[in-house]
Every structure is written in structure tokens, then in C-alpha cells.
Structure 1
Amino acid sequence: MENAAAQKVEDGGRTDRISKLPKDILYHILYFMSKNEAARTCVLSKSWRRVWINRLKLTFDERSSSFDGPHRTRLFVSSVNEALQSYLDNHNIHRIEEFHLILMNNSESILLLEKWIPMLDATPIRELCLWILPKLGRKFPYVDDLPSAVFKSERLARLCLYRCKLSLEKIHFARLDRLRLSYVKFTERVFENIASSCPLITTMWFKECTWFEECDDEEVKTITLEKKLHKNLKHFTFINDRAHRMDKRRVEIHVTTLETIHVHGCTVQIHGNKFRNLKELSLGVVILLRESFDFSSRHEFPVLTSLRLHGTLRWEYLNLRMNAPELTSIRYAAQIVPAITFTSPISSRCTSDIVIFRMQTDPVSWLLDLHAFLQTISRSEIRLCMCNVLEFVERVFVENKPPVVVQVLGLSFMKNRSYYFPSFLNGMFSVCSPMIIVQESFIEGEAKSERDQKELVKFLWEFLTKRDGTFRRKQDLEGLWIDRFDTNGQHWKRALLSECVLPESKNRLRLRLKWRERKANCDDSTS
């Protein structure tokens, strides 16, 4: 009885089993708490008073509401100093897994990194993660120079900088794992040093970064990813929203072991034809050099799940043959029909969102290219959007090729161009069989105007139900219905044309079509 009583605590006579757990387990529990939550455990009992200081993950965020008030920086600095000094004074032997330090880029606390980083390097901390960020919703001037200790830290594993200037050329990031730079200015020599001094880096992320030497408008600034220097690199992102300078930014990728590639707003050159680890490929508003890829061979993407190509892609010479059996998402938006062929069937789980802005070739060639591309992704669920009515001044109809089933077809309708619309519709229906037709902006969100969708639905209904032979595939159309969206019940319900075109009607509208099955014909002739 005495032994049992000794295991009781004063709080209601319950057994305090958590305090009896091994220290390593307690530290592991605290790892998943925020710093404030972990600090509150000091009031549980005497044995918990200093446990939180030794948690596996410590985070000090200067932007936190814990430091609100006129003395924000002083309170933050005091908190960091106290934690570091306490850790050193107690000769702690427990190894902290991660120490996260988040500073505001206009704060005086940045200068204290010259003191804090050597202190952190002297502790048994496994990883130091440093962020210099703006206060939420605000912009500040550039930080001219970071303390040199930042570039010498033996513990620095993650570095995230916002609106900083880097001019120090002696850089050594022996353990850096992730690098994220936003609106950072650096010399070309600095970038080369960063790229060559990070043997363990797995993630590189650049957004709106600029070089000091950009006074020469003719000079092209290049970021090169090399096999030997970046053999551990898995994730690469480069974003440049300044379209007028995209030809002055170049990214050359020689690393074929990457898992994700996201490049926007620059010139791109990609080498190799076997990307066995690549899971995500996103190219937006890029100039893809003709030397990219090896067009004479098939490109292997055995684990690729997401393919995104968008913007004004200048790659007229691209004719890409891909083997990507695991694709689950294709997103394409550009002015031309892509010349992409999948050499093996893509997954039936794949969703394809295709947006074409205009026609740049003659109607016959354009329709044949569109049919060829739709055919190669026909196993996926296709949502096809045509932004702007194409001016088919002649009657064009692709025959002897089975139309590809399209789940959703988005069309834009302008009344002043309705003269061309029947020719365009006949051409489109000769290459695809849409199950649903909507006003084109419905694919991404709300319609541009209620009038647009009403005029489109009315025109299509009259066109598809005419018996004068205007609609070339009328014999294949088995059913036609109008649906309106019930905002109360949050579902689609059938409606009459007369109800939908009323001035007071504000419902979203769509047309549903049912097609008779057609047997495939291998004849390639067109008319």
C-alpha cells in the first residue's frame, strides 16, 4: 500500500505516468508541440521545469504574437539569449534535432546572428534552420549585408532569405540541405560559390532573384545544375515574373535525378532522356531551347505524376515522345497545340486540363494536330477549353477519324463573330465528342457574365437541334439536355431553354450531350 501511495501525486490521487517515461520519449513528445505549448509544461511539476528547453525542436519566430508590442525586438532577443545561455550553462548532453530561427528582414536582431550562430555551433544541435522574412503583409528595404557567421555555420541546414543582398564571396555551406531565396540580389560569383559549396543540398528555390551586374542588357545570366555538383539535388524551382527579361535568364539542367522541376519565366535547356525519379514537371512562360531533350529518342518518365505546361511556350520545334505510365495530372495552356506523344498508354486515373488560346496554322492542320493530341491522352478524363472563337472562314470537317470523348468542353461565344461559329463547331465536333459544354470560364471559375452563357446555350441549342443539315454530326447525337445549377440544393437539375434565357435567371448553365457509339476507322483522309 505504501509503495502504491508513493506513486500517487497530489492532483486527485492519479498516477503521474508521463513523468516516469524516459527522457528521450519526453523530448520526442515535445518535438511535436510549438515553443509556447512546450514552455507551458514547466508548471506541471519540478521535474518538468526545464524539460521543454531540451525538446528536439525549438522555434523562435520574431513575427509571433508572443512578441507583439513596442518592444518586440527586445523581447525576442531576450528570449533567444536566455534559451541559448541556459542550454550552454547546463552543459546539456541532449541533442536538439532542429533549431528554427525566424527573423524579420527589417530587424536589428539580424546583427546578432554574428553572436548567436557561433553559440549554436558550440551546442549539440543537429540542424540550424534560418529564415529572414518580412512581417506578414508588409515589404521592407533590402538587407545590405548579412553577418559573415551565417556563411560559415557548420550547423546550417535550411536557409530562407527575403530581400537580402549577398556580396560575400567566401561561402561554405557544408551541411546545407534546403535553400530558398526570394527577391535576393547577388553577384554572379556569389551564386557560383553557393552552388558549388553545398554538396548535400536537396532543394533549391529561387523567386525574382537578380544579379548586381545586370546593367548590361545583352548579358544572359545562367543557372547551371551539374551532375557532379548537384548529385543530391531533388527539388528545383525558378520563378521570374518579369516577362520582358525572360530571354536574359537561363536555366540549364544536366541533372537527371531530380524529383521536381518548376521553372517559370526564363530560357530553359534540359539535357537527357531518362528522368527516372522525376515526379513533377512544370514549365511556364518559358523559351525552350531547340537543343533541349534528344528528340530522336523516347523520353523515360517512369514515376512522373504531374505534367504542367502553361503560358506562351516558345517551342515550335518540340516534338516530344514520352513514356509516362503513372501520370495522374496533365495541365496545358498555350497558343499552339502541343506536339506531345505518349508512347505507352497513360493511366485511366489521369485528368487532362487543356486550354488552347488561338489557331496559328490553317484549320485543317490545326484540327488534325488537335485530334492527334487528344487521341494520345484519350484514356484520361479530358477537360478542353477553347479561349476565343476560331475564325473558320471555310467549312472544315475531319472524316474517317473517330472523335475523342471529352468530358467537358469550354467555349467562348461572341455575338459579333457568330458568323464563323457554325464552321468552328462542326470542325470541333469532328475531332471530339463532348459530354458537357459550358461557357469557357466555368472550367476555372465563375462565368465572365450571365449574358455570355445564356447566348452560348441558346446558340448551341438551336445549332444542335436544327434539321437543315447545318450540324454535320446530327445523326450521332442521341440526347441533348440543358442543366442549371441549383444554388440551394448545390446540384445540377434539368431545365427548359425558355427558363434559362429569362432576364431574371442567374443560374449557371450547361449543355449535356449523349453520343451514339462509333466504330473506329483507320482511314486518315480528311476533307
Structure 2
Amino acid sequence: MNNQSVKRRSGDDDGGSAITIDDRLSQLPQPILHHILSLLPQKDAVRTCLLSKSWRNLWHGRFKVEFNDNWFATQKQFWSFLDNTLQRYLDRNLTLHQFIFDVSSAFDFVLLQKWIPVVITNMCVRSLKLIVSCGTIVFPLPFIVFQSELIVELLLEGLDLNILASTENVMLKLNNLRTLRLRYVNIRDEIFEKIISGCPLIENLSLIYCRGLKSIKLHKHQNIKEFVCYVSGQTIIEIEDPHALECFYVRNWHCCWNWKNKHFPHLKSLNLDMVQLPAETFNNFSSFFPCLKELTLNLCEGLEEFSLLSSSIKRLIIKMDSRSSIKAFIDTPNILYFEYSTHGFRHFLPSIEFAKTSNEWNSQITVWYKLRRSENEAMSWFLKLNKLLEGLSQSHITLTLIRDKYKKLDINDSFEGFYKPVVVEHLKLWDCFSSSSDPDLLNCFFRICRPRYIHMNLYEDGRAKCKKVSNLVEFMSKLLIPNEIGSSYFWLKDLVGIEVQDKKSKERQGAICFRLTWREQLNKYI
């Protein structure tokens, strides 16, 4: 046997025998076993005590301990467990790599104040995470938290850090700290400045909705690689030297971020979420971000019309409010993935054109459509969608359409301005068809595209779902029968095959998929 050796011991005359299984894993040195257990969640690590006698107390020495009051029926049990566990570590002179304290109700300040200094000084903890999710707590955090030479990762959530104002004459120095994450804390500008100035080697900084923080200035932090910031209101963000920065993510509706006069030579990922962008944002973009691989623009203002040129970008995501229109020319020859989506029920469609690309790439478009206006307005919407698909025709397109309201439509074959229908890899129609499955809506879509696969959602349950599946399969099958749905649909001559894909599996997933086969497509205007 590969993982265990088996020793058989003689039994009684009746042929019975006892088998002793000596697990080779148990023969590993204890420090290695402690490390393995540290990779498991706390609950799973505790369960290993049931394996055998040798494993009964092994989890007590793992290098990572986590205390969460949600795991216990009463607060008394929780604090007793914390006290006893840490006392065992102290008695056995064990070290800790990671200490996690996660509480969602009022807690014992005295007990925590007792153990935090011990965990830092006696157990040499390297990663300290204190998470309070029961409202901002004015907890007198021991000063030693900000004076450790060993801590490399510090996460504080739900605490009031303004209490550090009383440490005016105390130096806060975390000389080896690499990662600092502050979430939902109360902190004034001067307190943040005091903390961050004591972290000369900081590489990863995350500030999530820190109340009272109005100015974030990083003037002597040349090692910053990752900066994540969620703020509300007017906030100043200054990074004096972004030379080492690789990931930048900022969320701030009121912040107008201008990167001019800065150079980001190593930035690979840029995520701007609800940020105001000036009109000249993308001027000489590639010279400021020569190594940028991923760009995400989520609900940003100032994107009404822009041109983006970058030879380094491989992944581009744009998410817009449905009230905003967008006109963009994108020259990213090495693009691998593009995504565009809208939030809400408006019918605006973007005008996006891609320059020639050098690779195969995928595009994902998700839009809501609301066709309650006149036929001309509806046709105008489909015309814009057709032009959007034409602009993406170099890619493998996945088009997801979510219906708001639907009324019977018909596109006249003589309607001018349409491109030849564009090949679409996947057409996903969510909430599009009633049980009667009127073919007119398909007529609209087939006028502008030739999908290889059509996915239709099944929101119903039980019998209603089965009935809808049967109706959809019956309807799609009729598309191949001459005169079954009428001869006025010009695309019928191009459709040569329909196949239901893995019907039962898709039903369980809440959708059904059809594979369509079309005649060869042309690339010119109709």
C-alpha cells in the first residue's frame, strides 16, 4: 500500500484478527504536521483529533489559530476556548505565524488586551488580523501592535484607531510590515499619517471605507506594489513614487483622479470604479502605463467619447450606467478579452470600434433592451446592435440580452443600413420568450447575427419548467420545416440545422441550449 503499512496480529481460533494501521502521514515530524494543519480551516484542523491518539492534540500546535465567536453557542464558551488555547501555546513555548480574531458581538476587552501582547512578543506572530463586525468599537488597541519588528501582515476591521491620538510621544514603527489592510475603521488623517510613516517597507495597502480619512499621501513608500482604496466623499490620493506599483484599484464617486505627470512603468492592473475621469484621460495612455495588462472601468464618468491606444492591454472591461452612452475607438492589438455591460433598463447601446488585432480574442457583451417605443426606434436599436457586433467581428462574441418589455416586432427586409449578419458564438436570451415563443423576436436577432449557440433561460420550476422546455424545443424544431412558421423570414434559407445540447443537464442549470448550423457567411454589407 502506498500510504499506509498494515500489521496483522494473530486473533482467536475463530479466524478473527486485529489490524493495526500505521499511517505514514503520522510519522512525519511534528513541525511539518503543524504546517499541514495550518493550511486547513480551523474547524477541519480540530476534527483531525478524531483520527487517532497521536492526532488528538496535534492541532494545538498549528502555526495558524483563528477565533470566531460564531462557532460557539455562548460568549462564555468562546472566550474559554480562546483563553485555554492560547495558554497551551504559551505553556509549550510555541510560535504562531497567523492569529485571526473575528467577533460579531460585544467582547471582553480585558482578555484580548491580555493576549495580544503575548501573541506578538512571546509567540512571535507574523500575521495579525483583528476583525470586529458589530459596529465600530472603541477598543484600546495595545500600542505594541504598531511596534512589532516581526509582523509582516496586519488587518484591522471595525475598530476606532483615533484612540492612537493619545500616543503622541510614542513611536509607531512596523519596520517589516509588508501588508496593511484597514477596513471600516475610524481614522483621522493625522493618525493614518502616523501609522503609514512607520511602515517603510509597505508593499500592499488596502483602505476600505475608512471613516474620517480625507487625505491619503504616500510620499516615502517606494515599495508599494498594490494599492486598493474604497472611499466616500472628497478624498485626496497622492502617490509620490508609483515606480513599483503593479495593481491600482480605487472606488470613489467624487474623486477625479488625474495621473498626469506620473509614470507607472510596472503597473499591470488598473481598476477604476465610480471615478470621474477628465476628458484627456486617455491621451498618451500607453506612455504612462507601458506594461498595463488589465484595465477595468466601472461606472466611471467621462467616458462619453474616447480613444484608447495600448499595445500591452490584454484584458479590457467596461461597465456603464444604462443612462450613459459611449463612443469609443479601441486600438489594442494584443487584446485577449473584452467585456462590456450596462447596469439598468435603459436601451442605450455603445458605439465601439476595434482596430486590427493580432490574436484570437473573446468578447462578452451584456445589455438590457426595452422595446416599448415605435417600430422605427426599435429598428434603430437593432441597427446599433448590428454595428456594435460588426465592430467586434474579429472576436469570438458572446452576446447576452436581458429583456425588460417585449412587444411583437417585425423587421422589413428592405430596412437599410444593416451589415451582413455577424457570426456570434453564443447568444444568451434571458427572459425573452413566452410559452408561445413568438418567432418575431428571433427574426430581429437573426437579422443582425448568426449565433452558433442560443441559450434560453428557464426561470420556472417543476411542471412549468418542463412545459416551457417542450414549447421551446417544439418551436425551434419547426424552424426547419418549410412553411411551418411562414415564409417571410429571410434567414430561413441560411439555417440548415438545429440540435438540442445536453437537455437534461441544462434544465438543471436553469437554461436550455440549441446548437445552430448556418450556411457560409459573407463579410460585406447586405
TM-score by length of 1: 0.64
Identity of counterpart residues, as a percentage?
18
Deviation digits for residues 160-196 of structure 1, max 9, x if unmatched? 4443344346765544444445544444555566666
Shift of residue 59, structure 1, vs aligned partner: 0.7
Shift of residue 75, structure 1, vs aligned partner: 0.7
Shift of residue 111, structure 1, vs aligned partner: 5.3
- Work out whether 1:344 is the aligned partner of 2:387: no
Question: What does residue 80 of structure 2 align with?
Answer: 75
Among 288, 297, 300, which residue is 2:312 paired with? Answer: 300
Of 388-397 and 180-189, deviating more is 388-397
- Return the alpha-carbon distance in structure 2 between the equivalents of residues 42 and 407 of structure 1: 49
Question: What does residue 241 of structure 1 align with?
Answer: none
Among 66, 88, 100, which residue is 1:60 paired with? Answer: 66
In structure 2, list runs of 5 or more residues that go unmatched. 1-17, 216-231
- Return the alpha-carbon distance in structure 2 between the equivalents of residues 425 and 486 of structure 1: 20
How does 1:206-217 map onto structure 2 within 5 Å?
210-211=211-212
Preserved contact between residue 325 and residue 350 of structure 2 (Cα < 8 Å): no
- Return the alpha-carbon distance in structure 2 between the equivalents of residues 479 and 513 of structure 1: 6
- Return the alpha-carbon distance in structure 2 between the equivalents of residues 18 and 511 of structure 1: 50
- Return the alpha-carbon distance in structure 2 between the equivalents of residues 193 and 172 of structure 1: 9
- Return the alpha-carbon distance in structure 1 between the equivalents of residues 192 and 490 of structure 2: 60
CA gap 1:185/1:252 in 2 versus in 1, 3 angstroms: farther
- Return the alpha-carbon distance in structure 2 between the equivalents of residues 192 and 280 of structure 1: 30
How does 1:105-504 map onto structure 2 within 5 Å?
105-110=104-109, 112-123=111-122, 125=124, 127-134=126-133, 140-145=134-139, 147-149=141-143, 150-167=145-162, 168=164, 173-190=174-191, 198=199, 200-205=201-206, 210-211=211-212, 220-222=233-235, 224=237, 226=239, 228=241, 231-232=244-245, 234=247, 236=249, 238=251, 247-248=253-254, 257-260=266-269, 264-265=273-274, 267=276, 272-273=285-286, 281-284=295-298, 286-290=299-303, 295=307, 297-298=309-310, 300-302=312-314, 304=315, 307=317, 309=319, 311-312=321-322, 314=324, 316=326, 318-327=328-337, 330=339, 332-334=341-343, 335-337=348-350, 339=352, 341=354, 343-347=356-360, 350=362, 352-357=364-369, 363-364=379-380, 367-368=383-384, 370-376=386-392, 378-380=394-396, 382-388=398-404, 395=412, 396-399=415-418, 401-410=420-429, 412-413=431-432, 422=440, 428-439=445-456, 442=457, 446=459, 470-479=488-497, 483=500, 487=504, 490=505
Of 269-278 and 176-185, deviating more is 269-278
- Return the alpha-carbon distance in structure 1 between the equivalents of residues 204 and 366 of structure 2: 30
Give 1:478's aligned amino acid: V
- Work out whether 1:86 is the aligned partner of 2:103: no
Give 1:430's aligned amino acid: R
Secondary structure in 2 matching 1:339: strand
Preserved contact between residue 121 and residue 154 of structure 1 (Cα < 8 Å): no
Preserved contact between residue 175 and residue 199 of structure 2 (Cα < 8 Å): yes
CA gap 1:103/1:126 in 2 versus in 1, 3 angstroms: closer
CA gap 1:397/1:404 in 2 versus in 1, 3 angstroms: farther
In structure 1, list runs of 5 or more residues that go unmatched. 1-10, 135-139, 239-245, 493-506
CA gap 1:179/1:50 in 2 versus in 1, 3 angstroms: same
Secondary structure in 2 matching 1:248: coil
Give 1:477's aligned amino acid: L
- Return the alpha-carbon distance in structure 1 between the equivalents of residues 123 and 289 of structure 2: 38
TM-score by length of 2: 0.64
- Return the alpha-carbon distance in structure 2 between the equivalents of residues 197 and 336 of structure 1: 49
Preserved contact between residue 363 and residue 395 of structure 2 (Cα < 8 Å): no
- Return the alpha-carbon distance in structure 1 between the equivalents of residues 513 and 51 of structure 2: 61
Shift of residue 76, structure 1, vs aligned partner: 3.8
- Return the alpha-carbon distance in structure 1 between the equivalents of residues 26 and 442 of structure 2: 74
Shift of residue 314, structure 1, vs aligned partner: 4.5
Equivalent pairs, count: 456
